[in-house]
A and B are shown apart, each in its own frame.
Chain A
Amino acid sequence: MLKKSFLPLSAIIGLLTAWETTSRLFDIPSWILPAPVAIFQEAIQSWDNYRHHLLSTISLTISGLVIGITIGIAIAIMLHLMPRVREAVYPLLIMSQNIPIIVLAPLLVIWFGFGILPKLLIIILVCFFPITVAMVDGLRQTSPELVHYMKMAGASKKQIFTKLELPHAIPQMFSGLKISATYSVMGAVISEWLGAQNGIGVYMTLASSSFRTDRVFVAIFFIMLLCMLLFAVILLLEKYLLKWRPSQEESS
């Protein structure tokens, strides 16, 4: 574990050091590019100023993500159980993802106002798709050998679904979940740009319009941290639920 994280860690430290030294050496104005130490100081000093923004974004992200995951799984199961509906709707689903979220967001505000609903909708829209696509594939790619055995053994359609197809799709679902988790934070920040009282998105807009570039970087840092934390939670959950899978060393 330590050995594995050594290379990426030293890369990050190297990057930060290069950044700090060049900032000092060339005397770059802090409104263009603040040095890492200055950003760090700002993060500590104004903690009380942005704490409520952070909490608001976290709760928005998590609610949106949870609803998005639920809807994503539900749609996947529905499409799998109704192949004709899948044929009809699947292309539509893919087309819906070609609409840039940044274009869709103002529309949602026009329709639903500035409350929490349009913000949640944006997060749900970016979250459900990766899960649905991954899970539909997982459900469809169930090994034919196993399906054959289940049929010969007299399994009903319901039993084939609950005992075979659903557990088979779980690993795929997790690949979708990882993508959704990272998207969800982005979705939350974009939704906050459109008009909100609180949130990292708001804090970021205020900071950039007053040329407080250091605060923009603080916001960026917390967005990254939130993404990574969500990712880690999903990794842990995956490890716990999929402990039956051969580890990488065994399978190679």
Chain B
Amino acid sequence: MSKLVLEQIEKGFDEQLILADLSFGVNDGEFVSLLGPSGSGKSTIFHLIGGLYQPDQGTIYLNGQDIVGKKGSISYMPQTPALLPWRTILDNVMLGAELAHQPDRNQAIHMLRRAGLAEYSNRYPHELSGGMKQRAAFVRSLLSPQPFICLDEPFSALDEFTRLEMQKWLLSIWEEERPSVLFVTHNIEEAIFLSDRIIVLGSKPAQVIKEFDITFNRPRTEDLTLTNEFLAIKKEIFQTLRGVLDD
């Protein structure tokens, strides 16, 4: 079980308020996306959850426990793959578990096979394409002992085709494992396609503008993105976001 709750978080830097009275939660096994314009303090939210920053006010609970300022409570996948260049892919995906002193080689090999990276397990990161590196980074976060996963715009550096492939791949793995996920993105379509719920953030300071429940059945396929329901919700979110930008 893993459930994340942020309660009335406030955070500023140099007198500038970045987050004001921000409250939201992610339920067990839920896939939640944070959607907002760039500069809306999305990274700051992750830094707070990851324990790198302290909020000025408010609390963060993971499974009912206060995790403010506690590093390593969540499993994290950054925007860039951040694989260590001197480690093979196998050793890289075990890093998260290794830091908690519980690496499991067999499980790592098994996950790499499921991610279609079996033949690359003894290669070094520079020998892999951008998409493969991101897959390895995601496998690493799945293998980390923390059950709650935070994904920080993981596909934003990939080209359009690779991104779609990666989204489908991510969904297929997620639908089997069902970890709780907090996903940050600025791509509306990506958010709708993947999430159970979308939280739209306003900028400067960031606050929750609106929440959307995405109730499409799972497993989801690519065709979903062309249905009227999908386009309708995309339009609605787009208009909400435009309202944010106009302010």
Which residues of A approach B to under 8 Å, CB–CB?
Answer: 145-146, 148-155, 159, 163-164, 167-168, 170, 242, 244-246, 250-251
Taking CB atoms, residues of chain A closer than 8 Å to B144 are: 153
Contact segment of B82-90, B166-174, B191-199? B82-90
Q: Which of B16-46 contact A (CB under 8 A)?
A: 46
A244, B78: Cβ atoms closer than 8 Å: no
Taking CB atoms, residues of chain A closer than 8 Å to B96 are: 153
Report the minimum CB–CB distance from A252 to chain B (whole Å). 13
Given contacts A146-B84, A167-B86, A244-B124, contact A152 B78 (CB under 8 A): yes
The secondary-structure label for the interface of chain B is loop
User: Is B131 among interface residues, defined by CB-CB distance under 8 A?
Assistant: no
Contact of A154 among B71, B86, B88, B127 (CB under 8 A): B71
Report the minimum CB–CB distance from B108 to chain A (whole Å). 15
A159, B71: Cβ atoms closer than 8 Å: no
B72, A146: Cβ atoms closer than 8 Å: no
Q: Which of A150, A154, A245 is packed against the most chain B CB atoms within 10 Å?
A: A154
A146, B52: Cβ atoms closer than 8 Å: no
User: Is B59 among interface residues, defined by CB-CB distance under 8 A?
Assistant: no
Q: Can you identify 14 A-B contacts, CB atoms within 8 angstroms?
A: A145-B78, A145-B80, A146-B82, A146-B84, A149-B82, A152-B72, A153-B76, A153-B96, A153-B99, A244-B85, A244-B87, A244-B88, A244-B124, A250-B126
Q: How far is the CA of A154 from the CA of B86 in the complex (A)?
A: 20
Q: Which of B75-130 contact A (CB under 8 A)?
A: 75-76, 78, 80, 82, 84-88, 95-96, 98-100, 124, 126-127
Q: How far is the CA of A126 from the CA of B127 in the complex (A)?
A: 39
Identity of the chain B residue whose Cβ is nearest the Cβ of A250 in the assembled complex: B126
Report the minimum CB–CB distance from A215 to chain B (whole Å). 47
What's the A-B contact tally at a CB cutoff of 8 Å? Answer: 62
User: Is B54 among interface residues, defined by CB-CB distance under 8 A?
Assistant: no
A154, B100: Cβ atoms closer than 8 Å: yes
Which residues of B approach A to under 8 Å, CB–CB?
Answer: 46, 50-52, 71-76, 78, 80, 82, 84-88, 95-96, 98-100, 124, 126-127, 144, 146
Given contacts A145-B78, A246-B126, A250-B126, contact A152 B84 (CB under 8 A): no
* A-B complex: 7 closest residue pairs judged by Cβ atoms: A154-B72, A149-B82, A152-B76, A152-B50, A244-B86, A244-B124, A246-B126
Identity of the chain A residue whose Cβ is nearest the Cβ of B73 in the assembled complex: A154
Q: Which of A146, A244, A246 is packed against the most chain B CB atoms within 10 Å?
A: A244
Given contacts A154-B71, A154-B72, contact A163 B126 (CB under 8 A): no
B73, A163: Cβ atoms closer than 8 Å: no
B84, A164: Cβ atoms closer than 8 Å: yes
Contact of B52 among A151, A245, A251 (CB under 8 A): A151
Report the minimum CB–CB distance from B51 to chain A (whole Å). 8
Contact of B72 among A155, A168, A242, A244 (CB under 8 A): A155
B78, A154: Cβ atoms closer than 8 Å: no
B75, A153: Cβ atoms closer than 8 Å: yes
Contact of B78 among A148, A164, A246 (CB under 8 A): A148
Q: How far is the CA of A114 from the CA of B75 in the complex (A)?
A: 62
Contact of A153 among B72, B85, B124, B127 (CB under 8 A): B72
Report the minimum CB–CB distance from A171 to chain B (whole Å). 9
